[in-house]
Amino acid sequence: MRMHLPFLILAFSVLACRKPVSSKDTTGVWLSGADLSYVNEVEDAGAVYRKDGRTVDPYRLFSENGCRLVRLRLWHSPTINVYSGLEDVRRSIRRAKEAGMQVLLDFHYSDFWADPGRQDIPAAWKDVSDRIVLGDSLYQYTYRVLMSLHSDGLLPEMVQTGNEINGEILQPAGRMPGITDWSRKAYLLKRALSAVKDASVAAGKPISTMLHIAQPEHAMPWLKSAAAEGLTSFDLVGLSYYPLWSKVTMDSLSARLRAILETHGKPVIIVETAYPHTLSNADAAGNILGDAALLPGMPATPQGQLEYLRRLTTAVRSGGGKGIVYWEPAWVSSTAKTAWGTGSHWDNATFFDASRGNEVLPSIGYFRLY
């Protein structure tokens, strides 16, 4: 996802059963959960989470309310601070697993946010232009990260190779070509997927693979181009779905998802979505989701937020989809700084009420809708 202030860019969430989700069993498992990538950062900056007025551990709170799979972003060498780097992600995975949840690891293959308009190559690879050498760098990095996590008992159950990879990937900073070189792109993604497969074999544990596209209307042409280049060896299609920025209505979403499943045989998960529970702002950081994000019958209230998730869950299930991931339900206000200000640009779309000291909202019940 991209932050639609002149600013920001993002990423989102997932839940699973207690058993590992492998490519052999995803079709029978409903996935719903949360991207909790900001938790370490905002807690270190003084944020707290509450239930019934008492401070709680957010990972345990989510787990106790039915979340079983946590999505986490990984930047190669973070530029703004240490968060979302490997050591921070290691800390987050440990928290998720200690709380009884599984993990979807989202490789951005960038040092900062990656989305359809920005896929900046990590600085460590900026001088690599040969696709073979770049593919080897991608493979070795992906494999090393996964084996390093495995050595600590922190291997993720699912891996996303790239974030919102609608267009080109691994591009010079600030540059995105209008036309995608699918031969290059497919080659690089195949190398990343091979690294995940090889790490899975070496670890002796299943890892499901996912390719992530922003907005449902772009999925079919994207998958057609991928198939033409032989890019088919992945388990799941991940989609970002924000009605504010999509041409696909909630009523037509089911048909879109079913077309993907029937044409390409891949289970679909909405891995990013969100809805405001208020239009108030808890800090000086402008909120991204405002009036324009609201849908009929779903006001910016706690119950309106939960109703959005209920209707979306119904639509996704009706279309043969396999889950929903919420982004980012725990990015509450704090003294943490972004590249665009201090605080949270998402406090009105979390599962916590800033006006009551971050008391948990009814939307936490979304994990148990089905």
Mean of the pLDDT values across residues 239-253? Answer: 97
Q: What are the tens digits of pLDDT across the range 40-55?
A: 999 999 999 999 999 9
For residue 87, is it within any domain? yes
Q: Summarize the confidence of residues 244-254 as an average pLDDT.
A: 97
Separation of alpha carbons 182 and 170, rounded Å = 13
- Tell me the mean pLDDT in the region 350-359: 98
Does residue 203 register a pLDDT over 80? yes
The 10s digit of each residue's pLDDT in 140-168 is 999 999 999 999 999 999 999 999 999 99
Asked if 254 and 318 count as a contact pair (C-beta separation under 8 A), the reply is yes
Backbone angles phi, psi at 54, to 5 degrees: -100, 140
Q: Is residue 224 in a domain? A: yes
> What is the Cα–Cα distance from 193 to 188, expressed in whole angstroms?
9
pLDDT range class, residue 69, cuts 50, 70, 90: confident
Query: Confidence class of residue 14 from pLDDT cuts 50, 70 and 90?
Result: very low
Residue 126, pLDDT > 90, answer yes
Judged against a pLDDT cut of 90, whether residue 32 lies above it is answered with: no
- In the predicted model, what is the mean pLDDT of residues 169-186? 95
Q: Are 165 and 211 in contact (CB under 8 A)?
A: yes
Q: State the residue range of the domain holding 208.
A: 26-368
Query: What pLDDT was estimated at residue 28?
Result: 60
Our count of domains for the chain comes to 1
135: CATH? 3.20.20.80
**Structural domain contains residue 311:** yes
pLDDT of residue 289: 97
Percent of the chain with pLDDT over 90: 89
Q: What is the mean pLDDT of the chain?
A: 92
Q: How many CB atoms lie within 10 A of CB 202?
A: 12
The set of catalytic residues is: 164, 272
Question: How far apart, in whole angstroms, are the C-alpha atoms of residue 83 and residue 39?
Answer: 10
Residue 12 has pLDDT above 90, yes or no: no
Secondary structure (3-state) at 221: helix
Q: Is residue 338 part of a domain?
A: yes
The DSSP string of 346-365 is -GGGSSEEGGGTSEEPGGGG
Q: pLDDT-derived band of residue 1, with 50, 70 and 90 as boundaries? A: low
How far is residue 48's CA from residue 358's CA, in Å, rounded to a whole number?
7
Average pLDDT over residues 91-115: 97
Name every residue whose Cβ is closer than 8 Å to that of residue 224 and which is 6 or more positions away in sequence: none
User: Cα–Cα distance between 343 and 356 in angstroms, integer?
Assistant: 17
Model confidence at 245, pLDDT cuts 50, 70, 90, reads: very high
Top pLDDT among 195 and 16 is at 195
Q: Decide if 190 is inside a domain.
A: yes
